Amino acid sequence: MDSIWVQGGKRLEGKIPISGAKNAVLTLIPCALLTEEKLTLGNLPRLADVDSFSHLMNELGVATAFAGRKAGEHSRKITLDASEIASTVAPYELVRKMRASILVLGPMLARMGESTVSLPGGCAIGDRPIDLHLRALEAMGAEIELAEGYVKAVAPKGKLPGGEYSFPVVSVGATENAVMAATLCTGETNLFNAAREPEIVDLCNCLVAMGAKIEGIGSSHLKITGVEALHGAEYEVMPDRIEAGSYACAAGITGGSIELVGARAKDMLAITNALVATGMLTEFTTDGLKITATDKLRPLAVSTAPYPGFPTDMQAQFMSMMCMADGESYFEETIFENRFMHVPELRRMGANIDTRARSAIVHGVDKMTGAKVMATDLRASMSLVLAGLVAEGETEVLRVYHLDRGYERLEEKLAGVGATIERRSGG
């Protein structure tokens, strides 16, 4: 099995190109199920999750074609052709690999009048029930049945009529499923307390490009007027704000300076505010955003929250960076109850972190040392790579398949700004 080896102690400086957003593209791919015409997505990242989702789409009868000169280039595209859907069942064997697979439920139900999807898998970062997905679809007229590990949804009259639903808590995935399903309803759908993440905006903009009628994009109240059919489109995936934030932390933890080429600052306000609070300099450039560490990192207090709050997907990376801060930093995790699994591994490298329930206090240390560490989920694995960049000696990060789910060409990008990092194949 592959592992990532990092020799710490190098100050990182240079430019890193930011890829298309993982959390956006996994929402845009199932949009193809809503139309008989082709959907082409540009700025496609080369990620294990994209491959897994493509295989799932193939299983449903969707033809997929990739184009592009090299991995990671903005020219890389995927064209999806769902003119003929061969199956409305998403099987456990494919769905278990990735939680985002549940996002085929809404669009397939809307177009085909029925959909059966295995209960999903994904990172082990806590309980992430899909009840809000199902309640929203029920509010639009779906009949839902749970049996033998599968969700079966049916539109009694072949088409969902639409309706109103107010999410009791903000849910990104449930909002995405509901929005896609609502585009083909026979009537109007109003979603209240909807998620406002930039990836939701990207989804809505793609659907509008396909002919959907959506009002309130970017707000917590989405009004979707159903149309008879959607058409094909070409659409560019937004840049990955979490990848950009992760590499900003790489600049911070190594005392470096990195320009995030292609990063979209307007999507990263909570992240950049936190970077500034640590004493780092953020500059807008013609190509993106430049992050520079100017002095010893100042301690930070953050609490994760739905957008526009501080993203839970950046908590682990900032915690790793704050291990080198001058003082005590405080973290509160409000989204997932089991997202501190990187803490024991950081402690193995010399971090001083106290945890209690969903809060953590990070006591800054003078140095960290390399060690063999185990990745437990996608963002936790990145936090360990970041720690390895500053640790004395060599760090080996195991289970790098987590990294491959969400970071394109990680070793190449970090090596390009001065890191000593490589992937090695195990026995």
DSSP state letter for 178? H
Amino acid, single-letter form, for residue 65: A
Q: Which residues are annotated as a binding site for UDP-N-acetyl-alpha-D-glucosamine?
A: 99, 128-132, 313, 335
Q: What pTM does this model have?
A: 0.95
The pLDDT tens digits for 241-261 are 999 999 999 999 999 999 999
Q: Catalytic site residue 123?
A: yes
Q: Edge-to-edge strands of the sheet including 143-147?
A: 89-90, 114-118, 150-154, 143-147
Tens of pLDDT, residue by residue over 185-244, are: 999 999 999 999 999 999 999 999 999 999 999 999 999 999 999 999 999 999 999 999
Residue-wise pLDDT tens digits, 122-131: 444 344 478 9
* Dist CA 383 CA 43 (whole Å): 25
Residue that is written with structure tokens 């969400």 in the block? 406
Binding-site residues sit at: 22-23, 99, 128-132, 313, 335
Residue type, 32: A
| Segment 358-391, tens digit of pLDDT | 999 999 999 999 999 999 888 999 999 999 999 9
User: What pLDDT score does 93 carry?
Assistant: 86
Residue 276 corresponds to which tokens in the numbers above? 């500034």
CA–CA distance, 240 with 372 (Å, rounded to integer): 29
Tokens of 300: 């930070």
Asked if 102 contacts 116 with a C-beta cutoff of 8 angstroms, the reply is no
Catalytically annotated residue among 123, 185, 206, 249: 123
Burial-class residue 291 by CB neighbours within 10 Å (0-12, 13-18, 19+). Answer: buried
Give, in order, the Cα–Cα distances in Å from 216 to each of 132, 182, 193.
Answer: 21, 14, 12
How far is residue 64's CA from residue 235's CA, in Å, rounded to a whole number? 15
